[in-house]
Structure 1
Amino acid sequence: MSQAFTHQHRKAFWLAAGLLGASGVLLLLGVSVGSTGFDSVLDLRRDPQALLIVSEIRLPRTLGAWLAGALLGLAGAVAQGLFRNPLADPYLLGSASGASLGVAAAMALFGVSPLATHWLARVGLTGAAFVGAVLAVLLTLLLAKGVQHTLRLLLAGVIVGVVLGAITSLVLLLTPEIMQAMQSFMLGSTGLVGWTACAIMAAVFAAAMLAAWMMSHALDGLALGEATAQSLGLPLPQMRAALVAVLALATGTAVAQTGLIAFVGLAAPHLVRSVVKTTHGRLIALASLMGAVLLTAADILARGLVAPQELPVGVLTAVLGGTYLLWLMHRHTGRGSGL
């Protein structure tokens, strides 16, 4: 038992080291890939204008993709532990649909009015997305009558997501002039991430990681069953509420800055568990690193595959993540077990 624990601990350490190393390499690649393809960072140092592009556009964008992926990976690990469901993803509580509705409503109400410039400068679509995501989660909690019943919370999140998604479609139908602008948000993009967005995501990630790590023993207890967790003396209602808050904050912040990016939060914990079996404390940290690496790599591919044109990063993550999950399902079906 001790040897097995030591072996898994060593694997977790090397996985973390590998993901950190990959993050460094991807950061270097990210500042080197632009609309003209690949540029050497050493060559850019001789051109002040090119250096400005790197420091003000490429570097914050790459770092923003890393932070957004880390937030989604963290939220995915929390969601799967909280609902005890390996198919749970960060958008399960309706935050994605709420963010989409917030952005669509903001564009419909202010996009063609004289107040548009003033309102968007003061609050912005980022604020509308975040407010929409938070309100959607609060609506889910209201319908579920709190966090005491996990299944009720899960069903309420699905219902809220469907209803808000339908309302968003209705808003787009009534105001077709905003469809093109909404497309960027709904397909996911890191193109508008700047240093302010990076600072916001970094602060939220630090707070969410600390809170999730401190409550990871509750997720370990829930993995053994609700009755077992209660017998261990864990204050489950309070910890569930706190974990839902962490999930909503991490997801809402990522969605507000980069739009709807699929599969990163769902696939990151799966990839970690396929390599190492560990406690939720380490799983959350490793899933954050895995999500950061996945989204940063996808963002670089989205920029470089068909340069000077750019693919929506959300489409790329959906294709890659969907392919991975299909392969995973096929492998486990062959073994006669589920995900």
Structure 2
Amino acid sequence: MVNKKFILYLSLTLSLILAAAFSMSLGAVKIPLTDVMVILGKKIGLFSGREIPVQFEGVMNIVRIPRVLLGILVGAALGISGTAIQGIFRNPLAEPGLIGISAGASLMAVIIIVLEISLLTALSNILGYYLLAFGAFGGAGIAALIVYQISRTDGKSNVATMLLAGIAINALAGALTGLITFAADDQQLRNITFWMLGSLGGATWENIMAVFPFIIIPVLLLPRMGKALNAFALGENQAAQLGLKVNTIKRNVVILATMAVGAAVAVSGIIGFVGLLVPHTIRLLIGVDNKHVLPASALLGALMLTLADMLCRTIIAPIELPIGVITALLGTPLFLYILIKDKKKLVL
């Protein structure tokens, strides 16, 4: 089994490297793969003597490299957060949007896009493009905090109550989002639609630096909770009997998942299906041990989003499709195939 897990890690890592290289090469401006390698090599002091067309270097440095790096970060955030949320809820159909993270981010983004409030106008003059990102991140955090506080009784949080509170917050945020959208003009509707379907088109080095700490911290810390999430599979009472601080673990998982998904949604919009499909795929490949499922989900999430972004830029180039459409089109048939083929093996 150890060899099987090592092979999976190695395969995912190599596949991610290849996918990233091809993603940098393909697009409206096609860059030869050898030139991609040279440009990347120059950044670490290699191939310094070889000349590359200025256009290729400009496209790589300004567009392709930031976009691929952002896709890797967002995919890793969604993949590992989906696994952690499923572990804490002990429900294979759970995903980050279930506790209101995505709905809260969407509501705040729509408010910023549509409503011309004096405070938002003043903040827009200060933050510019980043107002939408900060607003979406804040909306995700507020929604998760409300759900968590509702679930607390006598100092303890109840997973079932958290799930129901998440459903209620999702419904409320969805209704408010629809109400505000009704007042939007045509241009605002286009912006809302594109943001709700997800895109990595706004990737910049500044965006990457802004979200990097909010994503890398959960990606590094959540795998350390793998053993605790394994105990959660037995039930909260059994986990407590094993000496685990159940409420602390639940709080930490929710906080870390909210950090990762909130940051991802803030810069890429709503990208569905990654947090739901990735954990299932990993469990079918290497089993249910969260010590390995969590890091492997981060790798597969990064790989899945990198491939999806490459497709959305190349299928009908130079027109770009929303990445959320690609993840849904790719993910739904694969998810149904897994359900039909291995439904007896799925961990419930």
Fold in common (TM above 0.5): yes
- Looking at structure 2, the residues matched to 214 and 273 of structure 1 have their Cα atoms a distance apart, in angstroms, of 18
What amino acid maps onto 2:94 in structure 1? A
Q: Which residue is equivalent to 1:166?
A: 175
Matched, 1:58 2:68: no
Quote how far apart the aligned CAs of 1:336 are: 9.7
Equivalent positions of 1:1-339 (< 5 A) are 8-36=1-29, 38-42=30-34, 46-110=52-116, 115=122, 118-121=125-128, 123-145=130-152, 148-177=157-186, 178-332=188-342
Q: Which residue is equivalent to 1:4?
A: none
Quote how far apart the aligned CAs of 1:210 are: 2.8
Which secondary structure state, in structure 2, belongs to the residue aligned with residue 87 of structure 1? coil
What amino acid maps onto 1:208 in structure 2? P
- Looking at structure 2, the residues matched to 181 and 78 of structure 1 have their Cα atoms a distance apart, in angstroms, of 31
Quote how far apart the aligned CAs of 1:119 are: 4.5
2:124 touches 2:131 (CA, 8 Å); kept in 1?
A: no
Quote how far apart the aligned CAs of 1:120 are: 4.5
Distance 1:90 1:336, change over 3 A: closer
Distance 1:111 1:64, change over 3 A: farther
- Looking at structure 2, the residues matched to 90 and 186 of structure 1 have their Cα atoms a distance apart, in angstroms, of 15
Q: Normalized against structure 2, the TM-score is what?
A: 0.89
Q: Deviations over 1:113-143 (max 9, x none)?
A: 9657514427521011101111111121232
- Looking at structure 1, the residues matched to 124 and 151 of structure 2 have their Cα atoms a distance apart, in angstroms, of 38
Quote how far apart the aligned CAs of 1:64 are: 0.6
1:99 touches 1:130 (CA, 8 Å); kept in 2?
A: yes
Distance 1:302 1:134, change over 3 A: same
Q: Report the aligned-residue RMSD.
A: 2.2
- Looking at structure 1, the residues matched to 311 and 142 of structure 2 have their Cα atoms a distance apart, in angstroms, of 34
- Give 5+ residue unaligned stretches, structure 2: 37-50
Identity %: 32
2:83 touches 2:279 (CA, 8 Å); kept in 1?
A: yes
Which secondary structure state, in structure 2, belongs to the residue aligned with residue 67 of structure 1? helix
Q: Deviations over 1:236-280 (max 9, x none)?
A: 011111111011111101111111001111111111111101521
Which secondary structure state, in structure 1, belongs to the residue aligned with residue 98 of structure 2? coil
What amino acid maps onto 1:291 in structure 2? G
1:94 touches 1:140 (CA, 8 Å); kept in 2?
A: yes
Which secondary structure state, in structure 2, belongs to the residue aligned with residue 309 of structure 1? coil
Runs of 4+ in 1 over 6 A off after TM superposition: 111-114, 336-339
Distance 1:46 1:108, change over 3 A: same
Quote how far apart the aligned CAs of 1:212 are: 1.3
What amino acid maps onto 2:11 in structure 1? G
1:332 touches 1:338 (CA, 8 Å); kept in 2?
A: no
Which secondary structure state, in structure 1, belongs to the residue aligned with residue 134 of structure 2? helix
Quote how far apart the aligned CAs of 1:281 are: 1.8
205-214 or 259-268, which deviates more: 205-214
2:79 touches 2:297 (CA, 8 Å); kept in 1?
A: yes
Quote how far apart the aligned CAs of 1:197 are: 2.0
Q: Normalized against structure 1, the TM-score is what?
A: 0.91
What amino acid maps onto 2:171 in structure 1? V
What amino acid maps onto 1:39 in structure 2? I
Q: Which residue is equivalent to 2:40?
A: none
